[in-house]
Every structure is written in structure tokens, then in C-alpha cells.
Structure 1
Amino acid sequence: MHAADDARRAQAKSRVLLSLAAKEPVLAILLVALTVLQVTHPRAWLSLPALIDWQTVMTLAGLLMLTKAVELSGVLMWLAHRVVHHVHSERSLASLLIGLAAGLSMLVTNDVALFVVVPLVLSLHRLTPLPVKRLTIFAALAVNAGSVLTPLGNPQNLFIWQTSGVSFGRFVVTLAPLCATLMAMLYALTLVSFKAKPLDLSRDATTQPVDRAFASVSALLFTAFVLLADSHHVGIALTGVTLGFLLWRRDAVLKIDWGLLAIFALMFIVLRSVAALPWIRETIAGIGIDTTLRTYAAAAILSQGISNVPAAIMLAEFTKDWRSLAFGVSVGGFGIAIGSLANLIAVRLAKERHMWLSFHIISMPFFCVAGALGAWLLMHLR
């Protein structure tokens, strides 16, 4: 009897694990990676939460609540209705959304830009049939390309700008050629990937009513949250947003993607544990990133394995060539989805089947071409 009970429990556990792997493949991979790391290079379990960048996780939690509130208010559907009546083709719509995503990412970081653009894409899809997967992938590429330009565009830029000591203007001027090249590549790819066919507006009957009070409060809170998070008071901002919505509109808290928060927390633990492995550091030191191209290549390639933010932080200990490092981690945001955390956000927000395969079919060739062009720019433009 005991043996039969044990067998049933084992089968139940296996079904749970298989179900998790099917529904949350990234989360399952991270859990397996953490298990392997704890077996081969054990850390005290209580020390693992210290590896999490809680500022980032709290910022993500607040943005998830705020974008859910904006969605529930109906304002995105209203905006989608207005957009489809001023854009006449699928290709024009894609170009508009790519420009919006890139422009926003230069000012409010690539992650925040996605929380505006991807929900808008999903709202547009309710009004007219759209290639949601492709549009979401291009939005992710757009925020990675646009955010290259300014120190505010993404966390790795902010880190490199602060540690390099260069002025804001010099940083922008230095990264402008790479940003322009990446955006030109993206728009060229847009012309090939999206058709010039007219939008089908048969679904667009009547506009959804907007809860103006909910939308106005959500917009004000969104602005205040971003400003507080930028001034390193994200804990206060998250507490205020959470309590306010729980007391007023609790759906904005209860219906967010909690799995995405778990993925981000585990990513920090796993990636920082990998980055701290002695053989990783010894390998980097042994390679000797003492030339422009070596620094660039190391940053681009390492980003594919541990994401571009940890790559920038780690490699900054081995080189003072901030320009090559910035070019490398910027290009490293393309390719494998893990290269930029923004990619993971975009894929999760879209909630489309087979998204990972579709993403890599586009992003991997883009990374290869961007890598070659980035190296050429780095060597020929000073």
C-alpha cells in the first residue's frame, strides 16, 4: 500500500511539473537552473533574496498594476478606436507603433514603453485582425533599439553613464549612430514583414465607454509612480498604488501577471549566481578584453547568456572602455530573449502561443546583422 501511495504521489508531482513546464517554460527552466546551482555551488537559502534587485521587481509590480488599471478603465480601447481610423494599412500601423515604442523608450525606459505599447496592440487587435505576435516582437525590438540613445533608456545605459563620468550630451552623441542604424534596420524589416493591405474595420462597431475617473486617476498615478521610481522612492510609490487600488478597484491588483514577477525574481537569483561563479570570472579575465573589439564582442555575447544589465555590471570591472561596453550590451539586447529583460516582458504581455519560437526567428538574424554593423561603427566612427 505504501509503495502504491508513493507511486501515486510521484506521478502527481510529475504531472504538476509537466503542467508547469507547459504553461510557464521560462519559470520551469529557472527553477531547474536554481536547483542545479544549489547542488553544484550551494548558497544559504536565506541569502538568495539578497540577490534580487528589489527596486526593479517593485517597479515592475507597480507598472503591472497601473497598466491593468488603464486597461480596465477602457481608455486603451478608446485610443485604439481613434488610431485605426487614422491609419489605413497594416504596414502604416506597424510603423506608427514602432516609432511610438522607440520614442517612449528614449525617455521613460524600454520596460515602461512596452507597458504602453503592447496593451495598445492587444486593444487594436480587438477592433481589427492584426498579426499580434509579429507586432509585439517588433515592439520589443523597437524599445531595445530606441533605448540605446539616452542614459535614461535602459538600466545598463544608466549604469554605464554613471560610472563613466561622461556628460549626458556626449553619451547621446556617441550612441546616436548605433541607434540610428538599429532603427533603420528595423524599419527596413518592417517594410518586408508587414503588408500594405487595408485594415479590416468590420469589428469596430461602437467604442467601449471609458471610465473617465478611473482612467484619469490611473494616468496621474502612472506619472507619479514613474517619477518616484526614478528618484529611488519606488517602495513608497508601490505601497501607495497597491493600497489605493485595493481599497478602490482591487481588480487592478488581483488580475496582474504574478508569474512574471516570479520569473523576474528568479532571474536575478539565477543570473547573479552564474555571474559570481569563479570560472566565469576567470574566463573573462583570461580572455583579456583589452581591445575595442574584444570588449564589444564580450559584452554582446555575454548578454546572450546572463542578460545585458548583469553583463554591463560584470564587464565594467575588467574595462574602462565605456563606449565599446555600451555598444556591446546594446546589441546584446537582441538575439536570445534573455539578452534583454524587456523581451521577456513583451512576450509575457502578448500571451500568444508559440511566441518564443517566433521571437527568435526574427531576433537571432537581427542580432547577427546588428552585431556586424555595430562593430563597423565602433571601429570607423569616433
Structure 2
Amino acid sequence: MPAAEQALKPHRNLLRTIIHCATKEPVLTVLVVALVALQVFHPRPWESLPGLVDWQTVMTLAGLLILTKAVEYSGFLMWLAHRVVHHIRSQRALAYLLIALAAALSTLLTNDVALFVVVPLALSLNELTPLPLKRLVIFIAIAVNAGSILTPLGNPQNLFLWQTSGVSFGGFVLALAPLCLALMAMLYALATVSFKRTELDLSKDTEPHPVDRPLLGVAVVLFAAFVLLADSHRAGIGLIGVGIGFIFWRPRIVLKIDWLLLLIFVFMFIVLRSVAALPWVHNAVGELHLSTPLRAYAAGAVLSQFISNVPAAIMLAEFSKDWRALAFGVSVGGFGFAIGSLANLIAMRLSGQRGMWAQFHLFSIPFWVIGGAVGGWLLLHF
């Protein structure tokens, strides 16, 4: 091999590594590139950047990731899911059940965790009997976005708005309940006309699913305690207790949480708050007059279609303190284009099915349009 080509080999390997990382984690890559660009063209002291991060939200998210991973590793969710489906006799009934299961799990265990339970369940059932798998996964994705609206723990944007608003856990649930119920009713109506009453035979689903009862018991108790601490804005204390406890008892749980999600959240705060502080951005958003609830709501629903609902919530919170209008907006913004919610992308990735994008948007975009109108009406009248 010529000397010149030999010298270029390490650089080519480095370029391949960078390209691989960028394609594997595009969200983090975009955030890092954006931060570098901001520091080049609109620099601010590096030591000031950590001050842009809402660490209370990050600590709450970290604690919830540990606890939900513990519940997942206990095996209880998969055991429960397989036990319940034994009572199903038709495709439509199965769709109803998976929608309810996905929505219910997302209210407490976040929409991502719900997907990691319900989508694999649908895949395993498809191996037992033919199912309209693509359609089921699409409805599961919509269900976790609709169900997760109900509580502060359902998704990252709710968690952020809950922590910054100062409202109680119960107050948040009461405020978001009308939107959640309306969207779930819409989803069930859509499922009724989208799935047939074709009979199913799931009697072959006899594989055992053991449950780690000690792990489940500890996780449930700590989950309740952590929520109480987070509600009183003492998430740091809860995170220390939960983190240290599991590091010594079940270290695999702490090591296996989605650390990348935490890093992405930190970069989102830094980048989006830096962008919001740019004079031309501040002036442009200021022209939207987000002081009215309906304008803040519309901004959240539309902006989510381009940058996803979590960053939309973080950015718009710099311009509007109407947390309920923003929560309504970014919640509806999770529908429409797939990028509106990272849960949509996760669901399609877990399914492993080709041709998901076109079919997903066939359902999701009309749902966003109608849900947007319903959400705006509810915001003004409830």
C-alpha cells in the first residue's frame, strides 16, 4: 500500500466513525453541531452554559428512567400483557386492548417505556397469528402520545412544564384530563372503523414470563416516594436515594438506562435557550404575540411538526408562561408528522416493518388536524 494512502487510512476510519455516530444518533448530532455554530457566531462564556439547563427536570427524568427500567426488568409488564391478551377473540378487540394498555402504561412509565412493552408484545402475537401489524403499531404510537398527555410523568415535555410551572401533580392531571379523554375517544372511534372483527386464535401463547417480585415491590414503593419528592421539588434527594440504592443492589439497572436521552435533554436546554436569546429570534417570536392562550397553543402544535414537541416546549417556554396552553399545544403536536414526537420514530423503529412512513401519516396527519381543532376548543372552554 502506498505511503500516502496508508497515511490517509486513520482519517478515513475517523470519518466513517463520525458518519456512523451521526446517522445512529441524529438528534444529538444536530444539537452538537448547533451548539458549535452558536459558539462560533454568537459566543457566550462556556462556564455559563450549565446555567441554561433546568437541572430539576433532568434529575426528575433521571430518577424516573431508573425506576421505569426497574419495573421493566422485573418482567411484570410483559407477564401482565400476555395474560390479558388470552381473553381476546378478534382483531378489533386486540386493537382496543393494545391501545388501552399503551395509553395506561404511558401515563406512569413514560411513552417510550410503554412502546418497549406493547410493540414487542404485538410482534410476538403476530408470530402466533397473522395481524395487521403496521396498523397496530401506528395505533400504539398514537395511543402512547394521547395517553401520556394525562400526567407529568407521561412524557419529557410534560415533565419539563410540570417542573417549571410549580403546579401540583393533581393540578396538572386535572388540567390535561379533558384533552387526554377527547383524544382517546377519537382514537377509539378511529380504531372501530380501522380494524375488523376477524377472529383470532391466541391459544398458542403459552410461553412463561417470570416476574422478579422483590424488584417489582421495591420499584413500586420507590416510584411512589420519588413522585412525592418530585412534586415537592426535591427530585435531587430522590435521585440520590434511588441511584445509590440500585447501584449497590442491582447495578445493571442504572447502567442500562437511556443515558443518551439525558445528554440530549441537557443539550436541548443549552441550544434552544441560546437560540431563543438571539435578538432576531426573540423579535420574530415576539411578533407572534404568544401572550394569548390560543396563540401559544397554536405555536406549540405547529412548531412541534418541525422540531419535535420536547424542544418546542423548551423553546416556547421562554416566550410564554401559560404552561397549560403550551402543554395542550405540544401534546397535539406529537401527532401529524412523525418527527412531532420521538415516540413515533421509536415505534416505527421497533416494528422493523417497511413502508411504515406513508401509512403512519395517512392516520396521523388527519388525527393532528382534527385533534388540533378539538384541543383549541377545549383550551378555551374548560
- Name the counterpart of 1:77: 78
In the alignment, residue 96 of structure 2 is paired with which amino acid? Answer: S
- Name the counterpart of 1:29: 30
Q: CA deviation at 1:18?
A: 1.6
- Name the counterpart of 1:223: 224
CA distance in 1, matches of 2:65, 2:320: 36
CA distance in 2, matches of 1:283, 1:45: 26
Alignment of 1:1-382 (within 5 A): 4=5, 7-103=8-104, 108=108, 112=110, 114-116=112-114, 118-123=116-121, 125-126=123-124, 129=127, 135=136, 137-146=138-147, 148=149, 154-155=158-159, 158=162, 168=171, 172=174, 178-201=179-202, 204-289=205-290, 293-305=294-306, 308=309, 327-336=328-337, 339=340, 347=347, 350=350, 352=352, 357=357, 362-375=363-376, 381=381
Q: CA deviation at 1:19?
A: 0.9
Aligned length: 373
Q: For residues 302-330 of structure 1, what are the alpha-carbon distances to aligned partners after superposition, in whole Å with 9 as ceiling and x for unaligned?
A: 34445556656765776687776554344
CA distance in 1, matches of 2:14, 2:139: 38
In the alignment, residue 217 of structure 2 is paired with which amino acid? Answer: S
Gaps of 5+ in 2: none
Q: Which moved more, 1:346-355 or 1:301-310?
A: 346-355
CA distance in 2, matches of 1:182, 1:216: 33
CA 1:203–1:217 in 2, change beyond 3 Å: closer, same or farther?
farther
CA 1:51–1:198 in 2, change beyond 3 Å: closer, same or farther?
farther
The answer to whether the Cα contact below 8 Å between 2:119 and 2:140 also exists between their aligned partners in 1 is: no
Taking only aligned residues, the RMSD between alpha carbons, in angstroms, comes to: 4.1
Where 1:48 maps in the other structure, the secondary structure is helix
CA distance in 2, matches of 1:323, 1:35: 33
Where 2:287 maps in the other structure, the secondary structure is helix
Q: CA deviation at 1:15?
A: 0.4
The answer to whether the Cα contact below 8 Å between 2:163 and 2:233 also exists between their aligned partners in 1 is: no
Q: For residues 19-77 of structure 1, what are the alpha-carbon distances to aligned partners after superposition, in whole Å with 9 as ceiling and x for unaligned?
A: 11332222223223333333332233333233233233333333332233223322223
Where 2:269 maps in the other structure, the secondary structure is helix
Q: CA deviation at 1:104?
A: 6.0
CA distance in 2, matches of 1:148, 1:82: 27
Q: CA deviation at 1:117?
A: 6.0
Gaps of 5+ in 1: none
Q: For residues 121-144 of structure 1, what are the alpha-carbon distances to aligned partners after superposition, in whole Å with 9 as ceiling and x for unaligned?
A: 434644554677755554443344
CA distance in 2, matches of 1:52, 1:364: 33
CA distance in 2, matches of 1:54, 1:100: 31
CA distance in 2, matches of 1:21, 1:356: 23
Q: CA deviation at 1:207?
A: 1.5
Q: For residues 239-259 of structure 1, what are the alpha-carbon distances to aligned partners after superposition, in whole Å with 9 as ceiling and x for unaligned?
A: 222222222222212222333
Where 2:230 maps in the other structure, the secondary structure is helix
CA distance in 1, matches of 2:324, 2:236: 33
CA 1:189–1:47 in 2, change beyond 3 Å: closer, same or farther?
farther
CA 1:72–1:152 in 2, change beyond 3 Å: closer, same or farther?
closer
CA 1:32–1:202 in 2, change beyond 3 Å: closer, same or farther?
farther
Q: CA deviation at 1:16?
A: 1.0
The answer to whether the Cα contact below 8 Å between 1:30 and 1:270 also exists between their aligned partners in 2 is: yes
The answer to whether the Cα contact below 8 Å between 1:228 and 1:234 also exists between their aligned partners in 2 is: yes
Q: CA deviation at 1:87?
A: 2.5
Q: CA deviation at 1:229?
A: 2.4
Identity %: 58
TM-score, length of structure 2 as denominator length = 0.77
Where 2:286 maps in the other structure, the secondary structure is helix
CA distance in 1, matches of 2:327, 2:218: 37
The answer to whether the Cα contact below 8 Å between 1:289 and 1:295 also exists between their aligned partners in 2 is: yes
CA distance in 1, matches of 2:116, 2:44: 38
The answer to whether the Cα contact below 8 Å between 1:275 and 1:314 also exists between their aligned partners in 2 is: yes
CA distance in 2, matches of 1:355, 1:64: 31
